[in-house]
Structures are given as structure tokens and as C-alpha cells.
Amino acid sequence: MGRAGEAGEAEGMSEYWPVTDVLAYLAGGWRVERSVRDLASGAQGSFSGATVFEPLDDEENDETGLLHHESGTFVWQDVARPAERTLRFLADGDGAGRADVRFADGRPFHDLDLTSGRHVTDHPCSADLYRGEFTVRDADHWRTVWRVGGPAKDLLLTTDYTRDAEQEPEYAAPERAPRHDSEPEPEHDSESNSGQD
């Protein structure tokens, strides 16, 4: 690692919180604040709302995990409209710190591995590429940053999640100490309009 990386770690510029059981960590309710920037035009928007992760037990498809439902208000160029989306976070056979994230209709979206407290993943969509970075800050805060690039898109979406204290599930802290690294989610064209398409 270069000196810049070592200096950042030494100064504690950013801290990741390892998650030993991703589904247990995500379960419950979260307040959501998202900024959306069109890097080409300079236009900006925002989404404010809530996300609830509820148990998913789909016996027909032999799937267990969490059903993620997000709803709120998306504001773009001073026009506010309701927005929502649904995702499926499925248990991954490779370990409790991992999940397989799918769209509501079951199509693959991305993998998720929070065992180190940080994960980078890609989702190709036609000619566009969605690159997401997930970072866990502590038991009650996590963030996603999605960069969307392609012939017609140049977007940056930053979403901060804060646990809703009224829907706080029990979650045991990881046994390992947090790692220190450098700090930083969009959706697919077929998803609803929460500023992520």
C-alpha cells in the first residue's frame, strides 16, 4: 500500500465496521437520504424516505432472506413525486456475511459481502455500467455510492441509511475490530423512480 493509504489509515480518516451476519444487520427499518447528481448536466435531485427489510420466506422458489421495500419522495428539478422500489436480499451459501441481491422479479442485481465492512460491486445494464460501493460505519449507519456510466448516463448516487430506532432489531456487534481504509446504490432502468435509474 502506498503512503497516502497508510496516512489515511493512521489518521482514521474512515472506518469500516465488519458485519458477520448481513441479513441480521440489515433487518428492520432504516431512514434513507439520497443525493442524485447528473455529472454531465450538473442537475441535482434527492430522495427522502424509509427502507424496511422484512423476512422473506419463498418456499415456492426455495429462497430465504429479506424483502427490501423502499418508499418516499424523489425530487428532481424542483418536481416532487412518490417513489418506491423492492429488492430481494437472499441468503448466500458462502457465508452469513454475504447476500445475493435481486430485483423484485428475481433477476440478478449484485452480490454483497460486508464481512470487511466495505464492498465494491458492478451491475451491467445494456450499455451502462453501475458500480456500487457499500460501506458500513457502525451498528446503525451504512452508505452506498453508485456511479452510473454509459452513453446516456453519467450519474452519482449517494445514499445514507440510519437505523430507525422504533424498528431496531437485535444485532450482535462483530467480534473483530473495525478496519481502516479510504471512505465512500443506483438501480436499474426497470426499477421504480427513486432517483436510481
pLDDT at residue 60 in the model: 64
State which amino acid sits at residue 106: G
User: Could you read off the pLDDT of 114-130 as tens digits, one per residue?
Assistant: 999 999 999 998 888 99
pLDDT (tens digit per residue) in 146-164:
999 999 899 999 999 999 9
pLDDT over 50 (residue 1): no
Residues 2 and 21: their CA atoms lie apart, in Å, by 31
Cα(36)–Cα(92) distance, rounded to whole angstroms?
30
Please provide the average confidence, as pLDDT, over all residues in the chain: 81
Residue 5 has pLDDT above 80, yes or no: no
How far CA 194 is from CA of 5, 108, 116, 117, in Å, comes to 34, 19, 28, 25
Please check whether residue 145 is in contact with residue 131, taking contact to mean a CB–CB distance below 8 angstroms: no
pLDDT at position 66 over 50: yes
pTM score, two decimals? 0.78
Q: Which tens digit of pLDDT belongs to each residue from 131-142?
A: 999 999 999 999
Give me the mean pLDDT over the 27-52 stretch: 97
Contact 110, 99 (CB under 8 A): no
